[in-house]
Structure formats: structure tokens, C-alpha cells
A and B are shown apart, each in its own frame.
Chain A
């Protein structure tokens, strides 16, 4: 059985994917179809968190403004729909283009800065997006925007139906995971990871690290806007609230609890966050308090996240032959 992954953590992740693949059937069987909604939302967020982990976990770029791209993706569905343009390809093209351009421009400026400046400038740019959407009276501003129908991809796929949508989300999730996996292990990814740990060294080796990071940032933004587009399809109501910096903070939180810079970390982190949020809010309306305390405690006392704990079950970080 040498093809079986040797590590416990890998086994657990494989099992997780299996469970996710069978989720609609499991939920119907236990009579709780509502959970599918919850899981759909979690998986959509997971794609966004995977994109954030790409720049933050693997690349060391701490962006406190990634929620802006979710917003761009969602409004790329919302605004055309407002004018009765339901063509999914249009939505997709709009989401990817706008997010890419915005990421290119803001990234070009932000990535000239380091550390805390970078954090704040990304936060500021996302506030800019937030206020922009807030000021667009036409599209609901504060009150939000109702989307009456899902993106249409005629003759190709249907986004209708909860289960159908779930499997599209799941497929895109798998695609995202695979994409990031390949990216990180390819030449490009090695440069990004190397730059996280020792940028000076990477420059001395001949890499224009700024350019690589900018490209990585744009890729991440586009992936995140894809999640936003899915969100716009999944919920029928979007509002600028999904863009605030507090949302970006939650995304970082999900990266952290899952385990920074790991492949599956974002997935487990997001699921854990969403489940926790759901469970805690059922217990008390003050669940944010518990969250806040957990966050503080996590940072002060427990590094590595869920992946860190799981990999304690693995053999120690070994030299690879």
C-alpha cells in the first residue's frame, strides 16, 4: 500500500474531501438540508481564504484588504443583473478584469511598502472600495442590492438548485487547491516562498522580487473575486458590508486558525470558523466576545493553527532525501 500518503494529516485531509464530496447525500440522509447552505457558504469563503493564504501564508504579504475582491466579484454579478444582464460569462469576465486591474494598480503602490505600512495601505484601499460602493445610490448603497437570478451559463452549466450549485462550488474549490499546489511548487512559487523568508537573499540571486510579488498579488485577487462571484450567486442579497476591513480581518483569522502557508489550512480554517460562528451564535448573541477572546488567546498562546496541531501527529519536520 505504498501509494497511501504516509502522514496522518494527509489522511485526514483526504477523508475531509471525501466527506465534502458526499455532503449533499449525507445531509439529506440525516434530514438536515440546511447544513448544505452553511457548507456552501463555507466552501465559497474557503476559496477566498485559499487566495489570501497564497499571498499571506506562502508569500508573507499581509493584506488587510482582501475582502474588497470578494465585493468586486459579488457586485460583478449584482450590477449587471440590475440591468437584466444575467450572462455568466459577462459576470466572470467583469469580476476577473476589474479585480485584476484594481489589484495591479493598488498592488503596484502597496508592494513598494513593507510590514506595517503594507498592512495599512491594503486596509485603506479596501476602505476606498467600501466607500465607493457605499456611495453608489443606484445600486442600493447602504441598503444593499438584491440579485434576482443567478448567473446564466447557457448550454454549459446550470447554477440553479442548491445541490447543483454546491457541486460547482466544490469543483472550483478543488480546482483552487490544485492550482495553488502546482503554483507553489513551480518556479514561480519557489520565488514567492523564498521572498517571504529572505527577500534580500532573493534579490541577490537575481530576482526582481517586486515583480513576482505583484503578479502573485494579482493572481490572488482574481481568485478571490471568483469567490465573490460565487457568493453573489449563492446569496441573493449583497451589500458593501462584505467589503469592510473587519471582513478582511476575519479572512486572516481563518488563515491563521487553519495554519499559515499550508495547502489545506485555509479549507479547515474556514470550515472551523463558519461552524464555530454558527454554533456560538446559536448559544448567545454575544458570541463575538468568545471569538475575540479566542483570537487573543490563539495569538498569545497557540501558534501553528489546526494544521500545526494535526502535524504533531506526523513525523517531525524531516530532512527530505
Chain B
């Protein structure tokens, strides 16, 4: 049993899970409160990476890159909400799908226009480039940072949603929007904030991963589907659900890629397990989603009192 492999795969799983959480939490809130499907949420992920990369290129500071990038994505998110999303809340979901699909095209091409076809590499400061020894384990510093940052944001989000008045409004809106409106809360401002916050978190995820994978055009378009799967499994409108579902999916996905063919190899000859395993591990999260929809369609942790 290769412990180092297991540990590093567990960490990868954690990392993926936390990134998925950052993406999915915004998505689930926007979905749950405004009933709006945003296929272009992945574009915020991409924009965050590009903003950060540009700032780092100019200032050399990763911290500044993240901070300014966050503000930038927040603003972009707010603009999208103001000019487009807001007009569609009461419309058919098909309309949401079409418009946000169009937005993906627009954002991808704008990025191409402004930054060119090849991506941006984001160099990390030396202090983050090394490794840390924890007892017997040697862990890349940056991955540890991602995990810590992700957990921190999760904690902050938890406090925001569970312990503040704003959070209460958000939770109420997720399960009963009409009631919140009836309370006379300025619903427009609430929606704007939630949308922009969700965008910012998606952007943060993009920024965190970009030093490893590079910022590239359309980088958010495939992972956003996984984020949607997380939202479904966790329960629409539930940040807690998004967290648990994201962690579960992140771990399952990562571990299955490493260990499934060994596992299958116990049951079948290796030529089959070698072809079947990658295909099966790709399908695993969707099979999980199908199972959840079949047995518990409201998700694993639906918001309390959800209709």
C-alpha cells in the first residue's frame, strides 16, 4: 500500500472538492433564490483566473492578483445580473439556458480578443512553490494553501449564511422567495449581492487553480457541469448540501481515477479493467447523480422547508 500516493490523492480529492464547492455554492444560491440557471457561471471562473494573472504579470504579487481579481469578478457578476439576469427571473428556464449559453460565447470570445488564444501562466512566488513536511508526509505548499483557503472561505460562508441577518434572508429566499418579498426587503439588492458573490467565489476557484493549470479560454465550461451535479446531489439552494456533495464528488472522482482499475482488476482480466476503469470513473459522478435523483430527488441536504 503506497501511503504517499494515497495521501496525495486524498489531498487532490480535497482540493477538487473545495474548488467544486466554491463553484457550486454560488450556483446553488443563485438557483435556489432566483430560480435562475446560469450556464455561464464557469465564465466567472475563467475571468477570475485571467484577471488575477494579468495583475500578477503587472505587479508580481499573487496576493494583489487575488484581491483585485476578486473585486473585478464581483463587478462583472454584478453587471451581468443588472443588465441580463434580472430581466429573466420570471421567464422560462429554457430562456435562461439560451441566454447564458450566449454569454459563454461572448465571454470566451472577449477573453480571446483581449488576451489572445493561448492562455496565461501564473507564476507563484517562491515561498509558495516549495514543499512542506508534515511529520512523515511531504506536501506541495501550494496545494495546502488551496485547501486552507477553500476551508476558510467555506467557514466564512457558513458564518455568513447561518449566523448573520443577511444569511437569514438568503436562506429564507432559498426556500420561499415570495415571503421575503412580502417582508419588504429590497429584493433586487439582495439578488444583486448574491449573484455577484457567487461570481466572485467562482472567480476565486479559477484563480486558485490557474497557477497549476494555466488560465485558458473556456476553462470553466466543463467543470461547470460537475458543479451542477454537485448542486443537484447536495440539494438546490443548500450551501451545506453543496459543501458535502462537493467533498464527496471530489474524493470519489480523484480516488476512482487512481484506484478503480486496481479494484476492477480484482474482478476481471487487466485488458478489460484498463479500458473500463477510466470510462467508468468518468461516469461515476453521473451515476451517483442519477441515483440521488431516483431515490431522493430533493437532494441529500435540501434547505429546510423547501417547497
Contact = CB atoms under 8 A, between A and B. Distances in A.
Interface residues of B, number: 42
A113 B282 contact: no
Interface stretch (B55-63, B87-95, B140-148, B152-160): B87-95
A132 B225 contact: no
Interface string B253-286: 0000000000000000000000100110011001
B106 A292 contact: yes
B99 A109 contact: no
A157 interface: no
Interface string A278-306: 00000001101101111110111000000
Contacts of B219: none
Interface residues of A, number: 42
B239 interface: no
Contacts of A120: 37, 228-229, 232
Nearest to A246: B221
A245 B225 contact: yes
- Specify the main secondary structure of chain B where it touches its partner: helix
B98 to A, nearest CB: 5
Interface of A: 62, 64, 109, 112-113, 115-117, 119-121, 123-125, 127-128, 131-132, 134-138, 245-246, 249, 252-253, 256, 285-286, 288-289, 291-296, 298-300
Given A124-B229, A295-B101, 15 more contacts: A116-B31, A117-B232, A119-B37, A119-B94, A124-B225, A127-B225, A136-B279, A246-B101, A289-B110, A292-B102, A292-B104, A292-B106, A293-B106, A296-B99, A299-B98
Pairs A-B, 10 closest by C-beta atoms: A292-B105, A295-B102, A131-B282, A292-B106, A289-B109, A135-B278, A296-B102, A292-B102, A128-B286, A249-B101
18 contacts: A113-B297, A117-B297, A128-B286, A131-B279, A246-B221, A249-B39, A252-B98, A288-B106, A291-B105, A292-B106, A294-B102, A295-B102, A296-B84, A296-B106, A298-B98, A299-B95, A300-B88, A300-B99
